[in-house]
Structures are given as structure tokens and as C-alpha cells.
Amino acid sequence: MRRSYRFRLYPTTNQARDLTVMLDSHRHLYNQCLETRSLAWKDYRLGINSIPLSSWFKTERNHNHWFAALNFSSAQATMRRLDKAFIAFFDRCKKRARRKGYPRFKGQDRFNSIEYPLHGDGIKLKDKTPKLYIQNIGLIRIKQHRKIQGTIKTVRVLREADQWYAVFSCDLGDVVVPKNTKPAVGIDMGLKSFLTTSDGEHVANPRFFKEAMPELRRAGRSLARKSKGSKHRHEAKRRLQRIHVRVRNQRGDFTHKLSKTIADRYGLVAVESLKIRNMLQNHRLARSISDAAWRQWLEQVRYKCEQTGAEFVEVDPRNTSQLCSQCGEMVPKGLDERWHRCTHCGLVLDRDENAARNILLRARCSPHLVRAAARLARTEPANANEVLQFECNHVQAATPSFEKPPA
């Protein structure tokens, strides 16, 4: 198991300047390698990778004092980063994607990280004192707010706005995951409530980006008034970046805490398999969906469930809000109708809670039953619902308890 730790760096004024120069040197190396590869293919139809470029860099650094100040292993990692960009480009070409995305030259604000592939080679965390040593930079004060577990493999130095961070990727070895016997839960994602559980619990949507919109608009207008290339424009750009970083940190803090709570509380977490990229095509809801950060939260729940031994299941989201979770009848309703009212069995409850119950019911059913019901749903919706409800009710321990826990 691998785990990453991210700590804030507090460099001095001179160290911050040297870090910026080093980052810019890596950016120039990336751009120069990209130019070399493009010209080699254009003039000679020759495809090259990071191996011959490393040999070129060995001789080039003897004549270029900016490259001479770089750690050789980190420079190789920058060249391999370009390899990954070309591999992704070729994959998109094979898949005939509409946008191929040929690797582009990196501008001053589009290259913000340096990777050190080996801890101890050019970078090292001092154990006795909370400081990070970087070659040609010196000892930098670091805020190590928690203890690092495992063996440090790679280190990445990251710049966000005017702040610096160090990201340590650690190998934990063989981790023994305990057996989890905690209760199961179904979760329905939404915009009115960030999530609703099958137990009836609602978590409010914080809407961090929406709250920061007035401040972002003022900072954007201030940036637009500044002359390009001026010092005031650079300062205005940094102010705008700091607001975006703050919003992202707030969102990340919220999703991490919530995902940790869910993973610790339950033994089975059932969610919908959402195609968020397709949902973003709705321009009326795209900003709200992006602000909710569903995919970020789902990925965090997934790996936290692996750590706690809980099972993470994604189910087909088709008709989860339309089906009655008690009798299995189809109850059509629009998006503006927030309550589920079944005329067949008389069940009345919140629309999202009804969907969460259906999600949990599908997750507890065997996969082949869910696939069979999904095939029938494309032709005979009513019969498919009956099949799904009947089969799920006869699976051992399949029917969830719909009674809310006592207050």
C-alpha cells in the first residue's frame, strides 16, 4: 500500500527565490526536450524518448550553468514526465478522441512541481529537526503536522500560488486489513444535499465556490484592469490564485473528513456509478456539480474503505429515484418533486432517501441479478423492477433494515 503525505514549506525570501529559479530551469528543460523531439520527428521522422535526451543533458549541463545547478535524477524525472505526456497523446490518437492534445510548451504558471525519484538523492527529510534539505537550496523549515509511516520513496516539491509544499510518497509494505463487520449504507449524491444515506441522514452541500464568487469576481476585474507584464498584474494574479487555492483547500478538508467518517462507520458503502463528465454537459448545473466535487469524494471513500476493510460498491444509477424502495413499483417524478409518494404501498419519504435505499438494495444483490434486471429495464421496466425486488428479497441478508436508529 502506498500513502502520500503533504506538508507546508516555509522558505526564507532567498530560498523562495532559489526555488523559483530551480522550478523555472526544470520548465526550460521540459520545453527544450519537447522542441528537440518535435524537430526530430518533423525533419527526420525520428521518435526519441528520455534515454537519448538524458545523454544529451549530461553534456549540455557542462555548458549551461542553469542546468548544472539541477539534480540529475530530478532532471531525468522531468524528461520522463514528457514521455508520459507523449504516451497519453498516442493513446488518445489510437482511441480517435476528438481532441488529441499534442504536448504543449509550458508557460511560467503552468509548471509548478519538481519530482525527486529517490529520497536521499538531492532531497532529504531531517528526522531530528523539522527541516527539509534540498540540493543547492539548503535546509527549509517544514510543518510536519503528523508522523510519516512507511518508507519514503519519492518526494515532490510543489508550488501553489505563493506557497510551497512537499509531497512524500511512502511505501507501507504489506498491510493487514482487519475484517469489517459494521453495518451497510447506501448513499445518494445530490446538489440540494451533498449526500443522503439510507438511514435518513442528510449532509448539507457546503458550496465553497459559490460563497467565494463575489470575491473571485472582484479579483478577476482587478486583474483585467492591470497592464500585461506589469508588476501590479503579477500581484493581482497571485491574489486571484490564493482565493482559488483557499476554495480548493476548504473543499478538500470537507471531503476528507466526511469520507473518513463514512469509511469508519460502515462495513459496506454503496454508491451510484455516476458519469460525471457527461453530467457536466448540462451548462445549467455544470458549475454546481464541479463545486460539489463528487468524483474527488468518491475516490477518497474508495481508498479509505480499503484501509478499514470496508467494501465499496458502485451500482447502476438507472431509476434509483423512480423505484419505490418498499414495493418495487415505478413512481415517475420530475427533478422538482423532492418527495417520493407511492400510491401502491403508501410509502412517503424524501426522494433522495428512497434512492439511497434502492442503491443499498442493488449493492446487496448478486451482480448477475443486477445485470439481468438492467437488461430487462431497457425493454420492460415494470417487469424488471419486479424481478429485481423479488430476487433481492430472497438473497440471504439482502433486505436492508429501513427503520431509523433511535435518537
Catalytic residues: 188, 272, 352
Q: Please report, for residues 67, 301, 397, the alpha-carbon distance to residue 21 in angstroms, rounded to integers and kept in the order given.
A: 11, 38, 62
Beta-carbon contacts of 118 under 8 Å, excluding residues fewer than 6 positions away, are 73, 153, 154
Beta-carbon contacts of 85 under 8 Å, excluding residues fewer than 6 positions away, are 103
- DSSP string spanning 210-226? HHHHHHHHHHHHHHHHS
Distance CA 163, CA 249 (A): 13
User: 8: which 3 cell numbers?
Assistant: 507546508
Distance CA 36, CA 48 (A): 9
Q: What are phi and psi of 13, to 5 degrees?
A: -60, -45
Distance CA 402, CA 289 (A): 29
Q: Please report, for residues 53, 89, 209, the alpha-carbon distance to residue 104 in angstroms, rounded to integers and kept in the order given.
A: 18, 11, 29
Q: What are phi and psi of 130, to 5 degrees?
A: -75, 70
Classify 401 as helix, strand or coil. Answer: coil
| Nearest in space to 403 (alpha carbons), one of 224, 249, 183 | 183
CA 35 to chain centre: 31
CA 1 to chain centre: 18
79 sits in the region (left: phi over 0; alpha: psi -120 to 50; else beta) called: alpha
Classify 186 as helix, strand or coil. Answer: strand
Classify 218 as helix, strand or coil. Answer: helix
